[in-house]
A and B are shown apart, each in its own frame.
Chain A
């Protein structure tokens, strides 16, 4: 390379004069490849196609470090039948071979399992996808549309989830998920044994795509890199902590703030945009609404539970968001002021007509407090102890409506299309967490002072007329 640094000086006189010496041919030839261009000037070699890539609107700057030989798509390339347009096939599995002497191997002779078809690589098929999710129940619940979108965009994909212990419980309500493993990616200093174990688990499953909603720095990016997945997609820190993460990831989203949950209902919109991006002949995939499914067994279990508490199906209203230090309060990660003291709930319950209020307590120790607070107002309060989001969803599903603060209960009510009253600390928060409230039969009552405690109970009682209306309509 030392000779190339001398090139401009040595060549410039030769270029002006007609090439007479045979040695000049050699120098001129090696000047053509762009990586020999010592001054970094804009050249007119075939490498300039890279520049057209940058100029496309809404496209991020291509990270040259990831693949220095990637010149972008070839516009002249004609895709044959192997690179079929459209979405991937549902199930590429070859037919079962009953004559196989090994029994468990279901591949016909001559079929090399190890070699995936080149077409799937070129199309970017995703057969196995892993989602690593940070946060608790609320954040995991809001990721459900993304999982549905992946399922719709890549037919036949198997989606696995790695979530925290609390967040994992949410996947009781998701039919699209195959495995749900517990691993806390939010830990700054994970136990080396657990770290290696989870890394091994993820590697063993040979994922095509790994999504992560943790804000990745170099460390988390390295974890994703070691998963050996083809597409490593993650959010990155919006600040200097993201340094180096982009090298190990194939797609990054710069978070708008340090807490992803600040985005509210649309907290994953960057990732959803990317997941549903149009590709060749596949149009943009629309983002599906939040939907949860509740199994029959869960419904039966919860029915017994609320019957024991003295509630009748369809004749009660769920109250969720009692102040407690329990971990099972299902708040959002960004909205910490989202629990009301039991006295306020007592006032709301007292004004309820025609329906029985059902208090959902996150811990058994709260039962006494609730009984103490409401024994004057209600002769027989219904108290149900529920910690898992699945049971809460089943309870909400059988109810006439929900009154809740900003907890997962309000999102579940919207997902099951139940009339609901959402109590928020401020107007802005309510718009962030429930963007289109009218469509979802959700009435929003927000505090004027910015603190949830100062909420006007009269307004809540006024809003309760929606339940009566829905009863009349039903």
Chain B
């Protein structure tokens, strides 16, 4: 763990340098850190650490339990330890497969869904025209309905003809009666 800590701390020394107190100026940073982590922990701020430890154990939540831990960085700053946990995520084969499956599914669905959102065909009269409102509830303009209404029309025509014949004969009769 110590090696890992060393390796990580070297990567960004500037921030540490600016944060750290001047008394550690001469020493290399890693060394001071190591000193801190070894000595400071148990000597200088023992009291504080004790109480902190208790609280940490109380509210420690491990959000990602399976993620492999790569490094733990502990810094002492003004007597307060900052613990930074560094991890590198390697997904398992199964997880990688899941990601790709999701990606494929999303792509397929997306092509269909977003592709049809602005489609001149689906907005055309051909698709929308014949009773289709695009909601899945289609009202077909049925041939049977057309024929049925045509027959009803025929019935009305005949009725009108009959009435016309009767009405036409009525004035003639009236005229004949007057004469």
Contacts and interface: CB of A to CB of B under 8 A. Distances in A.
Interface of A: 171-172, 174-181, 293, 295-297
A296 B150 contact: no
Interface string B138-169: 00000010011011011101100000000000
A175 B144 contact: no
B151 A181 contact: no
A176 B148 contact: no
Contacts of A177: 151
B155 A175 contact: yes
B157 A171 contact: no
B144 A171 contact: no
8 contacts: A172-B151, A175-B155, A178-B148, A180-B144, A181-B144, A295-B154, A295-B157, A296-B157
B144 A174 contact: no
A223 to B, nearest CB: 21
A181 B157 CA distance: 23
Nearest to A295: B154
A175 B148 contact: no
Q: Which interface residue of A171, A174, A175, A179 has the most chain B CB atoms within 10 A?
A: A175
Q: Which interface residue of B144, B150, B154 has the most chain A CB atoms within 10 A?
A: B154
A178 B145 CA distance: 9
B144 A176 contact: no
B154 to A, nearest CB: 5
B150 to A, nearest CB: 7
Nearest to A296: B157
Contacts of B157: 293, 295-296
A175 B147 contact: no
A172 B144 contact: no
Contact of A179 (B148, B154, B155, B158): B148
A104 to B, nearest CB: 15
Contact of B155 (A171, A176, A296): A176
Contacts of B155: 175-176
B45 to A, nearest CB: 78
Given A293-B158, A295-B157, A179 B150 contact: no
A181 B148 CA distance: 11
Contacts of B153: 295
A295 B159 CA distance: 12
Given A172-B150, A179-B148, A295-B150, 10 more contacts: A171-B147, A171-B151, A172-B147, A174-B151, A175-B158, A176-B155, A179-B144, A180-B144, A293-B154, A295-B157
Nearest to A176: B155
A178 B149 CA distance: 8
Contacts of A296: 157
A171 B147 CA distance: 9
A340 to B, nearest CB: 33
A180 B147 contact: yes
A163 to B, nearest CB: 12
A469 B154 CA distance: 33
A205 to B, nearest CB: 12
B78 to A, nearest CB: 76
B163 to A, nearest CB: 15
Nearest to B145: A179
Contacts of B154: 175, 293, 295
Contacts of B158: 175, 293
Nearest to A171: B151
Nearest to A291: B158
A174 B154 CA distance: 8
A28 to B, nearest CB: 64
Nearest to B144: A179
Contacts of A175: 151, 154-155, 158
A49 to B, nearest CB: 45
Contacts of B148: 178-179
A181 B145 CA distance: 11
Contacts of B144: 179-181
A171 B148 CA distance: 10
Going nearest first, the 5 A-B pairs with the smallest beta carbon separation are: A175-B155, A175-B154, A295-B154, A293-B158, A175-B158
A295 B154 CA distance: 5
A427 to B, nearest CB: 36
Nearest to B150: A295
A319 to B, nearest CB: 27
Contacts of B147: 171-172, 180
A399 B28 CA distance: 120
A296 B154 CA distance: 8
A90 to B, nearest CB: 14
A397 to B, nearest CB: 13
Contacts of A171: 147, 151
Contacts of A293: 154, 157-158
Contacts of B151: 171-172, 174-175, 177-178
B50 to A, nearest CB: 75
Contacts of A178: 148, 151
A179 B147 CA distance: 8
Interface in B51-65: none
A205 B151 CA distance: 19
Q: Which interface residue of B147, B148, B151, B153 has the most chain A CB atoms within 10 A?
A: B151
A42 B150 CA distance: 59
Nearest to A294: B154
B139 to A, nearest CB: 15
Contacts of A176: 155
A179 B154 CA distance: 14
A172 B158 CA distance: 14
A224 B131 CA distance: 34
A175 B156 CA distance: 9
A201 to B, nearest CB: 10
A176 B156 CA distance: 11
A129 B159 CA distance: 22
Contacts of A172: 147, 150-151
